[in-house]
Chains A and B, each alone.
Chain A
Amino acid sequence: AQSVAQPEDQVKVAEGNPLTVKCTYSVSGNPYLFWYVQYPNRGLQFLLKYITGDNLVKGSYGFEAEFNKSQTSFHLKKPSALVSDSALYFCAVRVPTDSWGKLQFGAGTQVVVTP
C-alpha cells in the first residue's frame, strides 16, 4: 500500500534559522512528490514538485526540497525562516501507476517560526 508520512506534528524554529520539514514515502515505482502549504482559512498553496531529474528542487518563497530515493524521503527546506512561514505544511505523493493523478497527503506538519 502507498503511504506518505510526516513524522513531526510540529516544527518550531527561530526566525533566521534554517527550517526543515520531513517527509518519507512508501510507493511502488518512482513517485511524483509535492509540497503544499496551508494558511488559516485558505486553501492549499503549491510550493514545489519532484517529477524526475535533479534531486534538488527549488520552489516558491525560497523553499527547496531534496529527493532521496535510497532513504525514500523528500524533506522540505528553507535556509533562513521567516515569521510569515508559520503555517501547516503537507507532503503529497502521486502514485505513478494511478491514471488519474489523485494525490495522497501526509497528516501535515505545523511550522512555528518565532521572532
Chain B
Amino acid sequence: GAGVSQTPSNKVTEKGKYVELRCDPISGHTALYWYRQSLGQGPEFLIYFQGTGAADDSGLPNDRFFAVRPEGSVSTLKIQRTERGDSAVYLCASSLKGGTSHNEQFFGPGTRLTVL
C-alpha cells in the first residue's frame, strides 16, 4: 500500500512569496501531523489534525503559517510572506489514530523549502 506522500519534493521561492505544501496521508489514517526539520536538527512539531479540525496548532511559529485539511484526508500547509528563516524540510506524518492512542506515526519524504 502507498505510504505518506508529499508534493512538491523541492520548492524554491523568493522572499515574500506565498507557498503551499501538500500532504497525502495513508488511507484510513485519521491523525495527521506537520513537522519542520531544520539542518542538523530533529523534526519540530507544527500542527496536528484529528479528522478535519486542527486540534493542536501550538507549534506554528507565527500567523504566516496556516494549514487545512478540509475533507479529513489531504492536508495543505500554507506559508505567507516567506522569509529566509522558513527554509527547512517540512515533514508530514499520519497515524491510524491520534490523541491518546499509542499508534506510531508514518512519515512522508518531506518537502525541502528554500527561500532565496
Contact with A along B99-111 (1 / 0, CB 8 A): 1111111111110
Residues of A within 8 A of B65 (CB): none
* Residue B44 interfacial (CB < 8 Å): yes
8 A Cβ contacts from A73-92 to B:
90, 92
8 A Cβ contacts from B65-116 to A:
91, 93, 95, 98-110
In the complex, which residue of chain B has the Cβ closest to the Cβ of A90?
A: B42
Contact (Cβ within 8 A) B107 A36: yes
From A14-22, A61-69, A104-112, the one touching the partner chain is: A104-112
In the complex, which residue of chain B has the Cβ closest to the Cβ of A4?
A: B42
Contact (Cβ within 8 A) A101 B108: no
Determine which of A41, A45, A100, A106 lies in contact with B50 in the assembled complex, contact meaning CB atoms within 8 Å. Answer: A100
Contact (Cβ within 8 A) A105 B107: no
Q: How far is the CB of B18 from chain A (nearest CB, A)?
A: 25
Interface size class of B (residues with CB under 8 A): 20 to 34
Contact (Cβ within 8 A) B42 A45: no
* Residue B43 interfacial (CB < 8 Å): yes
Q: How far, in angstroms, from A92 to B56 measured CA to CA in the complex?
A: 18
Q: A34-B104, A108-B41, A108-B42 are in contact. Are A43 and B48 (CB under 8 A)?
A: no
Give residues in A with beta carbon < 8 Å to B. 32, 34, 36, 41-46, 49, 51, 90, 92, 99-108
18 residue pairs from A and B, CB less than 8 Å apart? A42-B109, A43-B107, A44-B93, A46-B104, A49-B104, A92-B42, A99-B100, A100-B50, A100-B98, A100-B99, A101-B101, A102-B33, A102-B45, A102-B48, A103-B105, A107-B42, A108-B40, A108-B42
